[in-house]
């Protein structure tokens, strides 16, 4: 197992270095967000191809690939439509800085992303590699599949609703407070957390002795979705952009876990 994990890590590193070279050429790094899901899906597939065959391996691999491909395509389309994300413009020097920009992008974006990808995807990789030939999915894995399905619904539908809302010119300058966004300010991030706790539960049911050591993966992902680069940074930007409208929306809407709105809804904040 360790040899395969090291091989996966090496493949990921080479790929991220190639992506970094591309970023230095075009002067943009936001496409790395789309690579997050796609590379995690690829690592799950590489692990599956290196493991013994069985139902448990297949189920876990498909869970990761479905999530990763959907998210990767969505974020790459967003990058193609919107260009560079403001988060990266504030994090990095101007592309005109040449080597200083390239070095900062390598350290702060691509190498960091590679390390975090290995950490977050560790339950899936270890679960796939630790399962034995012909193993069926244990009964304890089914709650994980249910949680994963809830998460995929919130993430997929939340992203679709937000994209549709932003595509309507009449919503320019308004806060999204419709659909799932009435019940949580971040249905996509809540869904992402549920997806990966579901994957962890399924992997844990397959190989508890090995997978328990990957618990830092979902713990870190939940932290970053709630406090760091997920909801935390998004809300800072929304406060700057929407001011009092966002403040009223935040007052009546649950921060993360879905709940009924606290106050009478007012579209646009």
Q: What is the pLDDT of residues 98-150, one digit of tens each?
A: 899 999 999 999 999 999 999 999 999 999 998 877 889 999 999 999 999 99
Q: Quick check: 96 pLDDT over 90?
A: no
Across residues 139-168, what is the average pLDDT?
A: 95
Is 8 in the same domain as 78? yes
Is 199 in the same domain as 88? no
Is 219 in the same domain as 234? yes
Q: Which of 136, 164, 182 is the last residue of a domain?
A: 136
d(CA 196, CA 199): 5
Q: Domains in the chain: how many in total?
A: 2
Is 85 in the same domain as 185? no
Q: Quick check: 45 pLDDT over 80?
A: yes
In the chain, the percentage of residues whose pLDDT exceeds 70 is 97
Is 246 in the same domain as 154? yes
Q: Quick check: 203 pLDDT over 50?
A: yes
Q: Which of 112, 136, 160 is the last residue of a domain?
A: 136
- Threshold 0.85, pTM exceeds: yes
pLDDT for the residue numbered 95: 86
Across residues 46-53, what is the average pLDDT?
A: 89
Is 142 in the same domain as 267? yes
Across residues 258-266, what is the average pLDDT?
A: 73
pLDDT for the residue numbered 232: 80
Is 101 in the same domain as 158? no
d(CA 196, CA 63): 10
Is 124 in the same domain as 167? no
**Contact between 238 and 160 (Cβ < 8 Å):** no
**How confident is the prediction for the chain on average, in pLDDT?**
91
Is 197 in the same domain as 267? yes
Q: Which of 86, 103, 136 is the last residue of a domain?
A: 136
Across residues 220-242, what is the average pLDDT?
A: 87
Residues 6+ apart with CB under 8 A from 157: 179, 180, 187
pLDDT for the residue numbered 268: 43
Query: Could you read off the pLDDT of 55-92 as tens digits, one per residue?
Result: 999 999 999 999 999 999 999 999 998 888 888 888 88
pLDDT for the residue numbered 264: 52
Q: Long-range contacts of range 26-30, CB-CB < 8 Å, 24 or more positions apart?
A: 27/95, 27/101, 28/83, 28/84, 28/88, 28/95, 29/84, 29/88, 29/92, 29/105, 29/109, 29/110, 30/79, 30/83, 30/84, 30/85, 30/88
Is 98 in the same domain as 143? no
More confident residue, 202 or 262: 202
- Residue numbers of the domain that contains 78: 1-136
Is 155 in the same domain as 74? no
Q: Quick check: 192 pLDDT over 90?
A: yes
Is 161 in the same domain as 114? no
């Amino acid at each position: 197992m360790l040899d395969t994990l090291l091989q996966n890590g090496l493949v990921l590193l080479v790929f991220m270095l190639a992506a970094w070279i591309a970023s230095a050429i075009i002067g943009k790094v936001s496409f790395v967000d789309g690579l997050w899901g796609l590379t995690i899906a690829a690592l799950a597939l590489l692990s599956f191809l290196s493991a013994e065959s069985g139902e448990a391996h297949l189920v876990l691999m498909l869970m990761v690939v479905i999530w990763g491909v959907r998210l990767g395509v969505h974020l790459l389309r967003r990058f193609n439509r919107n260009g560079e994300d403001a988060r990266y413009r504030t994090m990095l020097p101007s592309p005109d800085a040449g080597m200083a920009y390239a070095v900062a992008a390598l350290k702060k974006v691509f190498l960091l992303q590679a390390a975090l990808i290995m950490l977050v995807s560790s339950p899936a990789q270890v679960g796939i590699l630790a399962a034995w030939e012909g193993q069926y999915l244990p009964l304890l894995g089914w709650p994980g599949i249910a949680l994963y399905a809830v998460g995929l619904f919130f993430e997929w539908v939340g992203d679709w609703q937000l994209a549709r809302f932003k595509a309507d010119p009449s919503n320019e300058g308004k806060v999204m407070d419709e659909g799932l966004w009435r019940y949580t300010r971040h249905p996509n991030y809540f869904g992402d957390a549920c997806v990966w706790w579901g994957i962890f539960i399924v992997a844990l049911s397959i190989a508890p002795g090995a997978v328990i050591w990957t618990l830092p993966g979902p713990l870190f992902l939940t932290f970053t979705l709630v406090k760091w680069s997920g909801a935390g940074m998004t809300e800072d930007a929304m406060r700057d952009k929407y001011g009092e409208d966002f403040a009223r929306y935040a007052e009546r809407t649950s921060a993360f876990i879905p709940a009924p709105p606290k106050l009478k809804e007012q579209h646009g904040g």
